[in-house]
Amino acid sequence: MSTDVSPPADLAAETAATAPEARARRRIQMQEAALPVVVVLLLVAGTIADREQFLTSDNMLTVLTQASVTGVVAMGMTFVIATGGIDLSVGSVLAAAAIAGGLVGEQQSLPFILGAIGFGVLLGLINGVAIAYGRIVPFIATLAMFAGARGLALWMSDKTPISLLDLDVVRDLGRGKVAGIPNAAIVFVLVTTGAWVLLNRTRYGRHVIAVGGNREAARMAGIRLRPIITSVYALSGLCVGIAAVLLSGRLGSASPVAGNLLELDAIAAVVIGGTSLAGGRATIVGTFLGVITFGLLFNLLNLLDMPTELQQLSKGVIILAAAALQRRDG
Amino acid sequence: MFNRRQQRLIGLVAVVALGMAACESGDDDSDEASDSGSASAPAEGGGSVEEGETIKIAFSAPGADHGWLAAITENAEEEAAQHDDVEFVLLEGTNDSAAQVSQVEQLMAEDPDALIILPHEGDPLTPVALEAMEQGIPVINVDREFSSEGAYRTWIGGDNYGIGVSAANYLAEQLDCQGNVVEIQGLAGISVTEQRTAGFADTIEQLCGDGITIVAQQPADFLPDVGLEVMETILQAQPQIDAVYTHDDDMAMGVVSAIENAGREDEMILTGAGGSRDAMERIQEGGLYAATFLYNPSMSASAVRVARLIALGEGFEELAEPEVPSRIELPASTVTQENVDDFIDLGF
């Protein structure tokens, strides 16, 4: 990569692509081509079904805002899944982070933001240490955190929400706008961009993929496994902390019951995006589209006042279809 | 300088930091889970069975993970503590019917003088309640009903259908039977939600015919963050909303945020249900949050009093009959800005 001729974007990360890696990358490209089709289909269906409200910039920005919480969490989840891990604790950690933020910063925004993000990272680190150094499988370690963090959130808050109506900056992050674009949507796009750069343009990103792809080979190549594995859970905790700030800002309060089932939405978005649950391949663009797909679906069925059972059913069908697509390509 | 909740956070962070520094073995995780578990578990009743005048009342309810259920457990404990002759036995709640059945069996083994049960679901808990009744332990059924009347000595609860009726009466009057109403429901597929929906739909139709249209109807699982998201989309879809009928005060807070974020709080009024303190404070202020309908967790305190009277073989002083009635249904009183001061102390 010492030439000054800029390579095509999709080849940039390929310094020493081996054959299987190239194949994996092609597979991701197929996936990335398939999901935009789904998004376009949803947009077309939505426009036909509800000509007046669906395809307005206002409504599309609402979709982006609504997707922001799940979206930011899904970005962290992509790194975890890229290493072949899983983080089941994100919903509970989100609630605990929001409550922790509320306790240190009931009156001021900055302590709230630092408190929420810091606590998210702390709980993420605990997950990471338990998995990387304690050799507990990710499913179990984060399942323990799933239960533990929810308990913490309820206990720390005395089971009552903490009102954040006086926190102007936090409120503004959640519901304010810059030039007509909701701040939450801007944060989501920024986090997505940051995650893309981190995964595709840094050595760290390549190491994450390498650890997920072939752990033995990665070790031989001199990659220190434990710090990498610990770090992806801390990164997930960081994203959850940011999401906790966004959600609390939109709600005007920190709720100990927030984030229920968030882990399922985040994992589903990552997986339909094309990131392999087995690890070793990951796509940020895919995760972004996965989040948007569910966001559009929720928005559309809700606009049409469809019963929720139909929403859940369609979600199931989409997950299954995406998984099937993944198999055929592979 | 720190309040109780802040002290917990500080203590916790300190413990975790020490734990992580001390060992890299990484089982902090499970430590922590058990830490919080034991710390939040309430003190259990003494266990030694005293003879004489002491009345032993056992209590079983679902997990206190929601404002209303937390208040149910708290109110029962506080009420019991006020009676010197009551020994109160409580197990930490669970949201699994099978686990609650074993819990009730465990409580029965302690041979209480009365057993208060708020079942997670009525049907699966009915057989074990019947068994307790057969053993001669009077069962006081709170809120969600057993499927057999033989399974309880007394049922005490709120009126879910009545919440719908009260809300319909209130909104019909406020809107002069004209306008668009959005309904944000609780958890889909449980009887509480169905009854609150049915009471509202039946009464609105009876009072206003086609004058009031329910333009959108979506469940938000009793959760504020879900309420926020659902309402955001409905606000996109509906250019004119005159009122929002929600099934729960906690959830309504998310709905309120969505409406305020959209700057449409002057366009509509909103009603809650349950009677939380936050909701009543909003009602006091006036504006968007216009009313709530009581479904008060004070019912568990009443259940403790009822259990005590049943154990003593006494009735209510105000009633001519010497026994406690077999069914007590609490009214879904309408709380508005005018009468909120009378109710705010009941708020949870």
Token readout for A2 is: 């010492």
Mean pLDDT of B169-176: 95
DSSP at A256: T
With an 8 Å Cβ cutoff, are A127 and B29 in contact? yes
B224 to chain A: which residues are within 8 Å by CB?
A: 161, 251, 253, 255, 257-258
Residue A22 parent element (H or E): helix A19-49
Nearest CA-CA partner of B337 in B298, B296, B279? B279
C-alpha A73/C-alpha A140 separation (Å) is 20
Nearest chain B residue (CA) to A53: B237
What is the rounded average pLDDT of the residues B228-257? 94
Shortest Cα–Cα distance, B217 to chain A (Å): 7
Do B203 and B341 lie in one domain? The reply is yes
| Full DSSP string of B267-287 | T-EEE--B--HHHHHHHHH-S
* Tens digits of residue pLDDT in B250-273: 999 999 999 999 999 999 999 999
* Angle of the A168-175 helix axis to the A183-201 helix axis, nearest 10: 80
Q: How far is CA A325 from the centre of its chain?
A: 21
d(CA A249, CA A243): 10
How far, in whole angstroms, is CA B60 from its chain's centroid?
A: 14
Same domain, B174 and B285: yes
Q: Which residue of A has its CA nearest to B226?
A: A258
- CA A15 to chain B, closest CA, distance in angstroms equals 35
Band of pLDDT at residue B65, cut at 50, 70 and 90: low
Give B-chain residues touching A230 at CB under 8 angstroms: none
Q: Are A263 and A88 in contact (CB under 8 A)?
A: yes
Q: What does the alpha-carbon distance between residue A322 and residue A34 come to, in Å, rounded to a whole number?
A: 9
Mean pLDDT of B24-28: 42
Distances (CA, A) of A53 to A71, B213, B237: 23, 20, 6
Residues of chain B found within 8 Å of residue A155, distances taken between Cβ atoms: 8, 36, 39-40
Q: Taking Cα atoms as reference points, which of A136, A153, A151, A150 lies closest to residue A89?
A: A150
- Measured in angstroms, the CA of A91 and the nearest CA of chain B are apart by 12
Residue B308 pLDDT exceeds 90: yes
Length of chain A counted residue by residue: 330
- The neighbour count for residue A57, using CB atoms within 10 Å, is 9
Q: What integer pLDDT is reported at residue B40 of this predicted model? A: 35
Query: How distant is the Cα of B38 from the closest Cα of chain A, in angstroms?
Result: 11
pLDDT band per the 50, 70, 90 thresholds, residue B79: very high
Longest Cα–Cα distance in chain B: 70
Structural domain count of chain B: 2
What's the CA gap between B298 and B346, in Å, rounded? 7
Lookup result for tokens 């399942």: A143
Report in angstroms the alpha-carbon separations of B140 from A330, B76, B92, B155, B208.
Answer: 60, 13, 18, 6, 39
Does B31 have pLDDT greater than 70?
Answer: no
Give me the percent of chain B exceeding a pLDDT of 70: 89
Inter-chain CB proximity A152 and B36 less than 8 Å: yes
Report the distance separating Cα A228 and Cα A211, nearest Å. Answer: 8
For B254, nearest residue in chain A (alpha carbons): A251
pLDDT at A23: 67
Which residues in chain B are contacts of A309 at CB distance < 8 A? 188
Cα B56 from chain centroid (whole Å): 24
Work out the minimum CA distance from A218 to partner chain B, whole angstroms. Answer: 22
pLDDT digit of tens for each residue in chain A (330 aa)? 333 444 344 444 444 445 666 666 666 566 556 788 888 888 888 888 877 788 888 889 989 998 999 999 999 999 999 999 999 999 999 999 999 999 998 788 999 999 999 999 999 999 999 999 999 999 999 999 999 999 999 899 887 788 887 888 888 888 888 988 999 999 999 999 999 999 999 999 999 999 999 988 999 999 999 999 999 999 999 999 999 999 999 888 898 889 988 999 999 999 999 898 889 999 999 999 999 999 998 888 888 888 878 888 888 988 888 777 766 544
Q: Are residues B196 and B340 in the same domain?
A: yes
Contacts of A151 in chain B (CB under 8 A): 33, 36-37, 40
Q: How confident is the model at residue B63 (pLDDT cuts 50, 70, 90)?
A: confident
pLDDT at A116: 96
Residue B269 lies in a domain: yes
Contacting residues of A for B40, CB less than 8 Å apart: 151, 154-155
CA-nearest of A194, A174, A197 to A253 is A174
* Residue B44 or B67, more confident: B67
pLDDT at A127: 97
The strand ranges marked E within chain A are 162-163, 177-178, 181-182, 253-254
| Claim to verify: residue B189 and residue B260 sit in the same structural domain | yes
Which chain B residues touch A258 with a CB distance below 8 Å? Answer: 223-225
Report the SS3 class of residue A305: coil
| pLDDT tens for each residue of B84-130 | 899 999 887 777 888 888 889 989 988 899 999 999 888 889 989 99
Q: Where are the domains of chain A?
A: 54-293
Query: Does residue B248 lie in a domain region?
Result: yes
Say whether both B218 and B286 belong to one domain: yes
Q: Taking the CB of residue A218, how many other CB atoms lie within 10 A of it?
A: 22
Contacts of B247 in chain A (CB under 8 A): none
CATH of the domain at B220: 3.40.50.2300
User: C-alpha angle with apex A263: A262 to A265, nearest 5 degrees?
Assistant: 65
Structural domain range at position B79: 55-157+297-314
| B14 assigned to some structural domain | no
CA A94 to chain CA centroid, nearest Å: 12
pLDDT at B315: 87
Q: How far apart are CA B223 and CA B229, in angstroms?
A: 10
Contact A126 B16 (CB under 8 A): yes
Q: CA of B103: how far to CAs of A172, A258, B38, B93, in Å? A: 47, 28, 18, 9
SS (H, E, C) A82-109: HCCCCCCCHHHHHHHHHHHHHHHCCCCH
Buried b (16+ CB within 10 A) or exposed e, B103-141: bbeebbeeebbbbbbbbbbbebbbebbbbbbeeebbbbb
Same domain, B136 and B185: no
Separation between Cα atoms, residue B29 and residue B16, nearest integer Å: 9
Q: How much is the pTM?
A: 0.75
Is B302 found in the same domain as B253?
no
pLDDT at A28: 59
- The reply to whether B82 and B227 lie within a common domain is no
Average pLDDT, chain B: 85
User: Residue B29 and residue A126: Cβ atoms within 8 Å?
Assistant: yes
Q: Do A155 and B215 touch (CB under 8 A)?
A: no
Looking at the fold, whether B82 and B103 belong to one and the same domain comes out as yes
Size of interface A-B (CB pairs under 8 A): 152
- The predicted pLDDT at position B16 comes to 72
**Does B16 map to a domain?**
no
Q: How confident is the model at residue B198 (pLDDT cuts 50, 70, 90)?
A: very high
**What is the nearest CA distance from A102 to chain B, expressed in angstroms?**
9
- Chain B: closest CA distance from residue A107 (Å): 13
Residues of A in contact with B264 (CB under 8 A): none
Q: Give pLDDT tens digits for B186-197.
A: 988 777 899 999
* Residue spans of alpha helices (H) in A133-182: 138-156, 168-175
Nearest to B342 by CA among B302, B287, B284, B299: B284
Identify the closest residue of chain A to B4 by CA–CA distance. Answer: A156
Residue B92's Cβ-side half-sphere holds a number of Cα atoms within 13 Å equal to 9
Q: Give the pLDDT confidence score for residue B30 in this predicted structure.
A: 40
Which of B24, B32, B236 is nearest residue A133 as measured by Cβ atoms? B24
